[in-house]
């Protein structure tokens, strides 16, 4: 089996393993605007391989269903076919989950045949892109299912085993000086290797100038964020950006998403996780997560600090090995920082930066419909870096640019602080 065929099998098998314990009813739920049903994720990632690989490079391929060509398209307007409203995905009881599983098997058999032969370079690059696309959806399957289970009044758990190390103590926060200067960020693709991968929005590599700055050794913990709440921060407009303050008032934010009042816990709160409810007192030293950019920015103001820019974050992370508490650990929740130095750069929580999502100088999207993958979203969104506890380990790197609207809270997003060197703590 070729290296690419082995990668394909591993990624597709991971998707199956993430979904297999969920019932057909679970997999139909779409509980918030950002989410999609779990069965839709499985169909859409399969649609990607059928649409962009098999139809183009396997001459005798017979599509599973011509209706699936438009039904499981997401936002590729260049394909010229109607796209169902995202809000309607939860109303699609048909095709059934069994049919979607059959669709996956059908495409996998055809892909196995294709991957057994010698692929053109363009086909190889599309397969690699499709695998990373599916890994993105693996993360979304878990973030979406967490919200779906939380929205259920029974609050069922995705995994029944509780967090066993939730009471680990975090290291004391330390501030690391970074000289700055002229540095390079972004990815420089190895054009001679079709298996080399980055998303187009990570290119081109380019130089930026950084003023000297400090960066925190770890992410902000639930304990530290609880102090922010206790200081009545959610009632203080002076801490918030204007749009953030509107969100606080209109959506009645009082704490991170998945925190609920609980008189039985010493902190007064409990937290919903993929492993069910846990008292906040058991999670105080773990990184706070499921906060919006507005909350991250307000917390930084409250501490007299700021969020790092994406260039600052990448400059620091480029010196670190991209490993940590990622999906492969099986924990499915952020863990306390227990090591010295600048830690938690990869895994645990995506970290909000202060940088708006825009193109790098000289950016060129992919040609054709694939060019819609990232470039069309470069508006009104903020950059996050580093991956989370539900990001596949082979999917993350220092140059990876995630992006969400600043009010987004359903994702595993947290906070790392920074400051200019002349700032006071």
pLDDT digits (tens, 9 = 90+) for 176-196: 999 999 999 999 988 778 789
Residue 52 within a domain:
yes
* Confidence check: pLDDT of 319 > 70: yes
Q: What is the mean pLDDT of the chain?
A: 93
Residue 168 within a domain:
no
Question: Domain of 316?
Answer: 175-420
Distance CA 258, CA 281 (A): 15
Mean pLDDT confidence for 226-233: 98
Specify the pLDDT at position 1: 62
User: Do 92 and 194 belong together in one domain?
Assistant: no
pTM of the model: 0.94
User: Do 207 and 341 belong together in one domain?
Assistant: yes
Residue 167 within a domain:
no
For helices 3-19 and 121-151, the axis angle rounded to 10 degrees is: 10
User: Do 242 and 116 belong together in one domain?
Assistant: no
User: Do 81 and 185 belong together in one domain?
Assistant: no
User: Do 138 and 253 belong together in one domain?
Assistant: no
CATH number, domain of 317, equals 3.90.1580.10
The bridge status of strand 350-356 relative to strand 413-414 is parallel
User: Do 182 and 129 belong together in one domain?
Assistant: no
pLDDT digits (tens, 9 = 90+) for 191-212: 778 789 999 999 999 999 999 9
Choosing from 92, 118, 151, the residue where a domain stops is 151
Q: Is 384:351 a contact under the CB 8 Å cutoff?
A: yes
Handedness of CA 20, 288, 293, 247 (dihedral sign): positive
Mean pLDDT confidence for 349-378: 82
User: Do 208 and 312 belong together in one domain?
Assistant: yes
Residue 189 within a domain:
yes
CATH number, domain of 142, equals 1.20.120
Distance CA 421, CA 425 (A): 10
Q: How many domains does the chain have?
A: 2
User: Do 344 and 400 belong together in one domain?
Assistant: yes
Burial of 181: CB neighbours in 10 Å, binned 0-12, 13-18, 19+? exposed
Q: How confident is the model at residue 92 (pLDDT cuts 50, 70, 90)?
A: confident
Mean pLDDT confidence for 166-174: 82
The residues facing 175 across adjacent strands are 216
Burial of 160: CB neighbours in 10 Å, binned 0-12, 13-18, 19+? exposed
With tokens 């499985």, the residue in question is 42
User: Do 115 and 239 belong together in one domain?
Assistant: no
Burial of 257: CB neighbours in 10 Å, binned 0-12, 13-18, 19+? buried
């Amino acid at each position: 089996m070729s290296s690419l065929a082995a990668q394909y099998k591993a990624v597709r098998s991971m998707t199956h393993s993430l979904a297999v314990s969920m019932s057909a009813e679970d997999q139909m739920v779409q509980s918030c605007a950002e989410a999609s049903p779990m069965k839709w994720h499985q169909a859409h990632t399969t649609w990607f391989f059928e649409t962009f690989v098999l139809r183009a490079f396997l001459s005798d391929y017979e599509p599973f269903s011509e209706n699936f060509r438009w039904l499981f398209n997401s936002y590729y307007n260049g394909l010229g076919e109607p796209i169902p409203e995202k809000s309607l995905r939860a109303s699609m009881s048909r095709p059934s989950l069994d049919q979607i599983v059959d669709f996956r098997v059908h495409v996998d058999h055809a892909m196995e045949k294709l991957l057994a032969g010698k692929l053109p370079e363009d086909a190889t690059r599309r397969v690699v892109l499709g695998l990373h696309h599916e890994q993105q959806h693996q993360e979304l399957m878990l973030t979406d299912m967490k919200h779906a289970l939380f929205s259920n009044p029974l609050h069922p758990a995705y995994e029944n085993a509780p967090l066993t190390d939730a009471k680990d103590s975090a290291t004391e926060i330390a501030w690391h000086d970074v000289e700055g200067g002229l540095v390079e960020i972004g990815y420089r693709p190895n054009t001679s290797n079709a298996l080399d991968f980055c998303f187009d929005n990570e290119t081109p590599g380019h130089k930026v100038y950084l003023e000297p700055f400090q960066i925190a050794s770890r992410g902000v913990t639930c304990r530290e964020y609880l102090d922010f709440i206790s200081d009545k921060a959610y009632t203080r407009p002076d801490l918030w950006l204007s749009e953030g303050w509107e969100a606080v008032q209109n959506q009645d934010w009082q704490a991170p998403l998945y925190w609920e009042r609980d008189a039985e816990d010493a902190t007064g709160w409990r937290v919903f996780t993929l492993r069910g409810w846990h008292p906040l007192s058991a999670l105080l030293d773990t990184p706070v997560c499921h906060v919006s950019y507005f909350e991250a920015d307000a917390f930084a103001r409250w501490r007299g600090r700021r969020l790092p820019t994406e260039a600052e974050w990448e400059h620091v992370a480029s010196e670190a090995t991209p490993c940590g508490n990622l999906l492969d650990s099986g924990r499915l929740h952020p863990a306390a920082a227990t090591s010295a130095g600048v830690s938690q750069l990869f895994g645990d929580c995506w970290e909000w930066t202060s940088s708006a999502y825009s193109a790098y100088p000289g950016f060129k999207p992919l040609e054709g419909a694939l060019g819609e993958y990232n470039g069309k979203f470069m508006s009104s969104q903020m950059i996050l870096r580093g991956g989370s506890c539900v990001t596949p380990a082979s999917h993350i790197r220092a140059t990876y640019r995630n992006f969400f609207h600043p009010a987004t809270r359903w994702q595993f997003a947290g906070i790392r602080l920074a400051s200019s060197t002349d700032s006071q703590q």
